């Protein structure tokens, strides 16, 4: 297996989720991939036979075995894989009283759709970027999901909303795309009005890593836990903010 080592800021939930998304892709291409975090969570170590990064593409609705629900489900295609990776974590879910509610991590509003945003962000990703720099590749664009805390701002901070005037700002497309993939299987746990995730400090397979990222660690597993909140970025959009490291 090839070991990929990717520096990150573990306090940035977008970068953490992007590493999880890369893990999802690696395991899809090469079942049996293992990954963990080193250097107090500041390096993501991924061992796989898959060649990363890969050029991702949106799948057509007719490429699914079944028609996506209300065409809101999205598939990402990977070279060498016949079945698209299904993304639908933003869909409404049923509450105990039978009412429908949206997932709390849905950060967009208005006329934006996840398909349109992913389509634009995929055009901005560079498949030739060195893997150790994948979380740093940036572009100027108005399109973002708001998962990367480096792009967080509030109208009160800048005096206006860049969304209102269509102003481009620095966006990290690989982080945005990979974090959306990561959220399919690695959803932070809720703690009141905040959300928590953990970097696991030993190599794990994908199922174990999904559990380690959100659940209290089991005996013998070392993790570092983080907690973040979300803020408005205007016009019904939300953004993830930098996390704080929690005491053991």
CA distance 187 to 211: 10
By residue range, what is the domain housing residue 134? 2-245
> Tokens 């701002």 map to which residue?
153
> pTM of the entire structure?
0.88
CA distance 150 to 168: 14
Range with the poorest average pLDDT among 51-55, 101-105, 178-182: 101-105
Give the burial class of 128: count Cβ atoms within 10 A of its Cβ; 0-12 exposed, 13-18 middle, 19 or more buried.
exposed
- The crossing angle, in degrees rounded to 10, of helices 13-29 and 173-185 is 70
CA distance 77 to 75: 6
CA distance 121 to 108: 14
Q: Which tens digits make up the pLDDT trace of 89-117?
A: 888 666 666 665 667 888 887 678 888 99
Q: How confident is the model at residue 78 (pLDDT cuts 50, 70, 90)?
A: confident
Range with the poorest average pLDDT among 70-74, 168-172, 202-206: 70-74
Task: For residue 73, give the nearest of 82, 60, 56 by alpha carbon.
Answer: 60
CA distance to 21, 101, 182, per residue, from 63 (Å): 22, 28, 22
Query: Residue 217: is its pLDDT beyond 90?
Result: no
Name the residue with higher pLDDT: 91 or 150: 150
| Number of separate domains in the chain | 1
Token pair for 19: 């590493």
Quick check: 181 and 21 in contact, CB under 8 A? yes
């Amino acid at each position: 297996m090839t070991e990929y080592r990717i520096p990150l800021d573990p306090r940035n939930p977008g970068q953490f989720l992007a590493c999880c998304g890369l893990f999802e892709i690696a395991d899809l291409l090469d079942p049996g991939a293992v990954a963990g975090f080193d250097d107090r969570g500041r390096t993501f170590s991924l061992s796989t036979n898959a060649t990363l990064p890969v050029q991702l593409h949106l799948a057509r609705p007719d490429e699914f075995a079944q028609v996506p629900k209300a065409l809101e489900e999205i598939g990402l295609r990977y070279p060498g894989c016949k079945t698209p990776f299904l993304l639908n974590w933003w869909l409404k879910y049923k509450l105990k009283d039978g009412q429908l509610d949206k997932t709390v991590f849905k950060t967009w509003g208005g006329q934006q759709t996840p398909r349109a945003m992913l389509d634009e962000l995929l055009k901005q990703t560079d498949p030739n970027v060195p893997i150790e720099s994948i979380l740093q590749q940036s572009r100027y664009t108005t399109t973002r999901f708001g998962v990367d805390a480096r792009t967080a701002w509030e109208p009160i901070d800048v005096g206006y909303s860049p969304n209102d005037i269509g102003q481009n700002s620095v966006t990290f497309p690989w982080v945005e795309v990979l974090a959306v993939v990561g959220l399919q299987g690695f959803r932070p746990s809720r703690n009141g009005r905040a959300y928590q995730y953990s970097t696991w400090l030993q190599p794990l397979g994908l199922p174990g890593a999904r559990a380690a990222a959100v659940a209290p660690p089991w005996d013998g597993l070392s993790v570092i836990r983080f907690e973040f909140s979300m803020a408005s970025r205007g016009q019904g959009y939300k953004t993830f903010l930098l996390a704080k490291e929690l005491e053991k």
